[in-house]
Amino acid sequence: MKIAVLPGDGIGTEIVAEAIRVLDALDLNFEMETALVGGAAYEAHGHPLPEATLKLAKEADAVLFGAVGDWKYDKLDRPLRPEQAILGLRKNLGLFANFRPAICYEQLVDASSLKPELISGLDILIIRELTGDIYFGQPRGRRTAVDGHFPGAEEAFDTMRYSRPEVERIARVAFEAARKRSKRVTSVDKANVLETFQFWKDIVTEVHKDYPDVELDHMYVDNAAMQLVKAPKKFDVIVTGNMFGDILSDEAAMLTGSIGMLPSASLNSSNQGLYEPSHGSAPDIAGKGVANPLATILSAAMMLRFSLNQAEAADRIESAVKHVLASGLRTGDIWSEGTKRVGTREMGDAVVAAITKKTITG
């Protein structure tokens, strides 16, 4: 089992280090190789996704990814910005299906901004199409861009585009996932305004005929955004396009109390995947040892389950995280009165201890 480890920028190195310690505690036969990506790769090689890093990712069974980006790179021309690394990996590895679970642990109900009765027991899976839509539409218009900006420009545009095979395959992923859950899919679109999403809606409806045991409903994205904060437990599986999925998954993340708790998986048709926390590089707290590593640790669990066929090991990690939360340990983003605040390393120590059955003090 070969894992490409790409820590990236900001807190990426800190949180990935803890995930690796957790994986090591499982005593499985992993081969891990680390490479630069994002701003760190740009500094060393002049590009956010060097050929050597891309080669490593292609050859691996799975990629464990930290985060990329820093404000100091905002003036770079767009193809050289750190964020282009993740787009490049998605495109080159064919990672078309992004799984973002939003689960509210009972121990963190009070950390949510919503009332406990609205989010207690919350378990949503957002499936985001990842390689189409406006992020990859062509042509992409830029006018006299200087330092990443548009002085004197008269227009700029990005095209929203989907093909039939792209929509069909993500719809099937959603329906298959729903069959293992509560058999309910909500397809989110903007079909009343955008031709692209009338096309999306029609195809999802067609594919649904092959899954008569799964309930399907359609919802406009603005209504979906409202319902996520009004009645989030009405959702089970949400499937949507790249841009809408980007926005809605971050909104759903905050329902759980902190985006620092949410893992994600991006898979291709062979179940090779890239696993990363849903949050960003947080350069403002990088190096301070306060970042929450649990989203990355839980992403490693998803990696074990989806790409490495180690479901039992994934269960061990997820059970360990629940145990640690039950013990009262919290990083600053999920801390509340009556719990013990710990740093990145201490949280990693606790999860490792729970896996190895050592005593956790808190």
- The tens digit of pLDDT for each residue in 323-339 reads 999 999 999 988 888 89
Alpha carbon 213 to its chain centroid, in Å, reads: 28
The two three-digit tokens of residue 282, written as one number: 């947080």
CA angle 93, 172, 279 (to 5 degrees): 50
User: What is the distance between the alpha carbons of residues 264 and 299, in angstroms, rounded to a whole number?
Assistant: 6
What domains, with CATH codes, occur in the chain?
1-95+268-362 (3.40.718.10), 97-260 (3.40.718.10)
Of the residues 61, 73, 190, 211, only one is catalytic, namely 190
Of the residues 24, 77, 222, 315, only one is catalytic, namely 222
pLDDT at 207: 98
pLDDT at 149: 65
Of the residues 105, 135, 202, 233, only one is catalytic, namely 135
* pLDDT tens-place string over residues 173-195: 999 999 999 999 999 999 999 99
Residues 57-76 have a mean pLDDT of 95
Residues 301-325 have a mean pLDDT of 95
250 annotated active-site = yes
Helices (H), ranges, the chain: 12-25, 39-45, 51-59, 84-93, 116-119, 164-179, 195-208, 221-230, 242-255, 294-306, 311-326, 344-355
222 annotated active-site = yes
246 annotated active-site = yes
Is 360 a residue whose pLDDT tops 60?
no
Q: What is the 3-state secondary structure (H, E, C) of 8-60?
A: ECCCHHHHHHHHHHHHHHCCCCCEEEECCCCHHHHHHHCCCCCHHHHHHHHHC
Is 362 a residue whose pLDDT tops 50?
no
Is 203 a residue whose pLDDT tops 60?
yes
Q: How far from 98 is each of 53, 71, 134, 244, CA to CA, in Å?
A: 21, 26, 16, 12
* pLDDT tens-place string over residues 1-49: 999 999 999 999 999 999 999 999 999 989 999 999 999 999 999 999 9
Is 285 a residue whose pLDDT tops 70?
yes
Q: Given the structure tokens 């499982």, which residue do they identify?
A: 26
* pLDDT tens-place string over residues 129-151: 999 999 887 755 554 445 556 66
Q: What residues contact 245, with CB distance under 8 A and at least 6 apart?
A: 98, 100, 126, 127, 128, 129, 130, 188
**H-run or E-run covering 6:** strand 2-8
pLDDT at 143: 47
Residue closest to 298 by CA, chosen among 334, 264, 345, 255: 264
- Burial classification of residue 233, based on how many CB atoms lie within 10 Å of its CB (0-12 exposed, 13-18 middle, 19 or more buried): middle
Q: Are 281 and 11 in contact (CB under 8 A)?
A: yes
pLDDT at 107: 83
Of the residues 123, 158, 202, 246, only one is catalytic, namely 246
Q: Given the structure tokens 């199409």, which residue do they identify?
A: 129
